[in-house]
Every structure is written in structure tokens, then in C-alpha cells.
Structure 1
Amino acid sequence: MIIDKNKTYIHKCQIEPEWYIIDAKNQKLGRLSSQIAYKLRGKNNKTYTPHINNRIYIIIINSKLIQITGNKRKQKEYKRHSGKPGGLKIETFEKLQTRMPNKIIEQAIKGMLPKNILGRKLFTQLKIYSDHIHPHSSQQPKLLKLN
């Protein structure tokens, strides 16, 4: 068998899914979300390839206890628009955290993932729960400590 030196070899093997659980209690929003996006892409693996889904599933618990620095609690705004005239809704971090605490982490991580089919698939591998209760105990997730 002759191997051409100009060809790139890509290892094609079946990747077993890995499940991790992260406790967001007293974690900073930006640091937590950037580290989660890094792990979801699989950039911590030595066999990282940009276009391959590494089948890493991450469960985040206690999302309502996430922390942010400075005066962002009152100043940071989340905007959404219905598409109709006058349909712009603006909500502060404080109000959104009481109403839908999962949306804050979802929006932060989604902004750090690629804007293509792979990014949308990786986002479905992220599970966020506002309490410490989650339905994924049968997957036996490993506890992941973030810096």
C-alpha cells in the first residue's frame, strides 16, 4: 500500500458519548460559559478536529445561582424582538434570572459556539437545570471541576 505524503489522514472511529455534570453554584457566568463551550467543541482532546462532533454532553445544575461581577446585575440587558412593530422586549439580568435562569447560560454559551450546523448540534448536547435535580443519572455523568 502506497501512502501519498500530501494527503491528510483523519482518524475515523466511533466516539463513545461522554457525560459531564457541572455545578454552576457561585461560578462566574463568562468564565463558566467559555470553559463549557471549549469542552463541547472537544478542544481539550489531543485528537481535536474542527468539523467533528466529539459527542460530549454537559449537564449544568444550579443555574439560578450563577454569579456575575460588577453592576451587571442591574445594568446588563437582554433583548428579544417578536418581529412585529413595537415588539422589542428589554429585560435586565436580575429580572431574567428570577423568571428564566437557564436562558442566561444558554445565550452565553450559544454565542461562543460556531454559527453553523455543527454549532446547533453541539447546543443540543447541553442540558441546563435551575435546581440540583436532573433526569440524566442513568448516563452516570462525571463531575467536572472547572478552574
Structure 2
Amino acid sequence: MSINKNKTIIEKSKKQAEWYILDAEQYKLGRLTSKVAYILKNKNKINYLPYQEGNSHIIIINSKKVQTTGNKSKQKIYKKHSGRPGGLKTEIFEKLQNRLPNRIIEHALKGMLPKNSLGRRLFKKVKIYPDQDHPHQSQNPLKINID
């Protein structure tokens, strides 16, 4: 009886979900979202597989105070199109941050996640709030620092 040693052993974790909390006020937009994508994809664990989702949930608070470098707050443009002729709408970073602060982080994070059903499932595990208040105190989230 021989055992094949080249098989990949995939363990499905039934562990309780891990909750993390990040304060967007302390970080730049790109650094924040790349770290969130890294944790969501489970790359910080030893049993990382690119096609499996982890059991990490992330809470981002103070999204209206997220920072950018250089003149991006005056120059970065967000576009959306209604699909009809002449339906292109543009908005600069500053105005979008005042109107819908969560959309900035959502847009950046969606660009860093896989463009398939796995990416859509991972995106549902992120909760973004424009200020300090969030309804997830009972999950006892761990505060993490990006360094």
C-alpha cells in the first residue's frame, strides 16, 4: 500500500468567523484597501488557497476621513454611465467624499478583488461606515494596524 505524498490536502475550516476593525482616518486609500483585500483573500493565513474564501470579516470606520497623496483629492475623477446616450456622469474625489464617502473605498476595494463570484462573496464580508459608530460590537473585532 503506497501513499501518494503529492496530494494537496484541503481543510475546510469550520472555525468561527474572525472580525477585524480598521480606522480609515489613519491610512492612505491605497494602503488601506490593499491590506483589506489581502486579509479578505486569506493570504495572511498559512492555509491560503486562491480559490477558497476565508472566514474573515472587516469593519472599516471613518471612511469620510480617508486620505490620499498629492493632488488626488482635486484631480481624481470617478465616472459612471447610465447606458443611455449622453449619460456619462463624472465627479471629483472631494465631492464624492462629502456626498458618499463609502463609495470611494468600495470602488478601490472592488478593483483589488477577483472579478468573479469569489470576489463578489468576499466583498460582502466588508462593512464600511462613514464615522466611528458601527453595529458590530458583539463580534468583538480585533483592531489591526497596517505597517
Unmatched 5+ stretches in structure 2: none
CA positional deviation for 1:80: 0.4
Distance (whole Å) between structure 2 residues aligned to residue 8 and residue 68 of structure 1? 42
- The Cα shift of 1:145 comes to 1.1
Matches within 5 A, 1:73-112: 73-112=73-112
Q: Deviations over 1:117-142 (max 9, x none)?
A: 11000000000000000011111111
Taking the aligned partners of 2:58 and 2:99, their CA distance within structure 1 comes to 23
Alignment of 1:33-112 (within 5 A): 33-112=33-112
Structure-2-length-normalised TM-score: 0.95
Encode CA deviations 1:45-85: one digit per residue, 9 max, x unaligned.
11111111111000000000100011111110000001111
Alignment deviations for residues 21-60 of structure 1 (CA, whole Å, 9 cap, x no partner) = 1011131001111011001101011111111111100000
Matches within 5 A, 1:107-118: 107-118=107-118
Aligned to 1:123: 123
Check conservation: 1:21, 1:143, Cα contact below 8 A.
Answer: yes
Quote the offset at 1:2 in angstroms: 4.5
Number of aligned residues: 147
**AA matched with 1:12:** K
Gaps of 5+ in 1: none
Mapped partners of 2:126, 2:13: distance in 1: 23
Deviation beyond 4 Å, 4+ runs, structure 1: none
Q: If the length of structure 1 is used for normalisation, what is the TM-score?
A: 0.95
Amino acid at match of 2:22: I
Aligned partner of residue 25 in structure 2, secondary structure: coil
Q: Which amino acid aligns with 2:61?
A: I
Q: Over aligned residue pairs, what C-alpha RMSD do you find?
A: 1.2
Aligned mates of 2:53, 2:16 — CA distance in 1:
11
Alpha-carbon distance, 1:7 to partner: 2.8
Distance (whole Å) between structure 1 residues aligned to residue 60 and residue 6 of structure 2? 43
The answer to whether the 8 Å contact 1:79/1:91 transfers is yes
The secondary structure found in structure 2 opposite 1:68 is: coil
The percent of aligned pairs where both chains have the same amino acid is 59
